[in-house]
Chain A
Amino acid sequence: MSLLPRTSSFAPARPEEILRPVNPWFILLTFLLGLLANLTPASGVMLTLKPDFLALVILYWCIQEPRYVGVGVAWLLGLVMDVGDATFFGQHALAYALLAYAAEYFRRRVLRFPLWQQAPQVAALLLLCALLVLLVRVVGGAPLPRWTYVIPPIVGALLWPLLSVVLQRPQRPMRSTAEL
Chain B
Amino acid sequence: MRHVSVEPPPFFHRGPSPLARLAFFGLISLALLFADTRYRYLEGLRTAAAVVLYPLQRAVQMPGEAASWVGSYFASKHALADENAALKQELLTRAPSVQGYAPLMDENARLKGLLEMQARFPGAARTVEVLYTGRDPFTQKLFVNRGAESDIKPGEAVVDESGVVGQVTRVFASMAEVTLITDKDHAVPVRVERNGVRSVFFGAGAGRAPELRFMAPSADIRPGDKLYTSGIDGTYPAGLAVAQVETVERDTGQIFAHITCKPLSGADRSQYLLVLGQGAAQPPRPEEPAEVESAKKGGHGKGRRGG
What is A's interface to B at a CB cutoff of 8 Å?
Answer: 13, 15, 17-22, 35-43, 47, 50, 67, 70-72, 75, 78, 80, 83-91, 93-94, 97-98, 100-101, 104-105, 136-137, 140-146, 148-149
Contacts and interface: CB of A to CB of B under 8 A. Distances in A.
B131 interface: yes
Nearest to A101: B22
B60 A93 contact: no
Interface stretch (B34-42, B188-196, B219-227, B272-280): B34-42
B50 interface: yes
B217 interface: no
Contacts of B42: 89
Nearest 10 A-B pairs (CB), nearest first? A41-B132, A143-B205, A90-B32, A94-B29, A90-B29, A142-B138, A90-B33, A71-B21, A101-B22, A83-B49
B21 A15 contact: no
Given A89-B46, A97-B26, A149 B137 contact: yes
Interface string B259-289: 0000000001000000000000000000000
Given A17-B2, A143-B208, A93 B29 contact: yes
6 contacts: A19-B3, A83-B53, A97-B29, A142-B139, A143-B204, A143-B206
B131 A19 contact: no
B78 interface: no
A92 B35 CA distance: 15
Contact of A41 (B50, B131, B204, B207): B131
Residue in A17, A20, A83 with the greatest tally of chain B CB atoms within 10 Å: A83
Interface of B: 2-5, 7, 18-19, 21-22, 25-26, 28-33, 35-37, 42, 45-46, 49-50, 53, 56-57, 59-61, 64, 131-139, 141, 143, 170, 177, 184-185, 204-208, 268
Contact of A97 (B25, B36, B64, B205): B25
Residue in B61, B136, B185 with the greatest tally of chain A CB atoms within 10 Å: B136
Contact of A47 (B32, B133, B170, B204): B133
Residue in B5, B45, B268 with the greatest tally of chain A CB atoms within 10 Å: B5
A90 B208 contact: no
Residue in A19, A88, A105, A149 with the greatest tally of chain B CB atoms within 10 Å: A88
B25 A13 contact: no
Contact of B137 (A71, A136, A146): A146
Contact of B2 (A13, A90, A100, A145): A13
Given A36-B60, A42-B132, A89 B138 contact: no
A71 B136 CA distance: 23
Given A39-B56, A86-B170, A89-B35, 17 more contacts: A17-B2, A35-B56, A39-B53, A41-B60, A41-B132, A41-B133, A47-B133, A50-B135, A86-B50, A86-B141, A89-B33, A89-B36, A94-B29, A97-B21, A100-B18, A136-B33, A142-B184
Contacts of B61: 40-41
Contacts of A101: 18-19, 21-22
A58 to B, nearest CB: 13
B60 A21 contact: no
A102 B33 CA distance: 21
Given A67-B7, A94-B29, A142-B184, A86 B206 contact: no
Residue in A13, A35, A86 with the greatest tally of chain B CB atoms within 10 Å: A86
Contacts of A148: 137
A141 B184 CA distance: 9
B26 A98 contact: yes
B275 to A, nearest CB: 18
A78 to B, nearest CB: 8
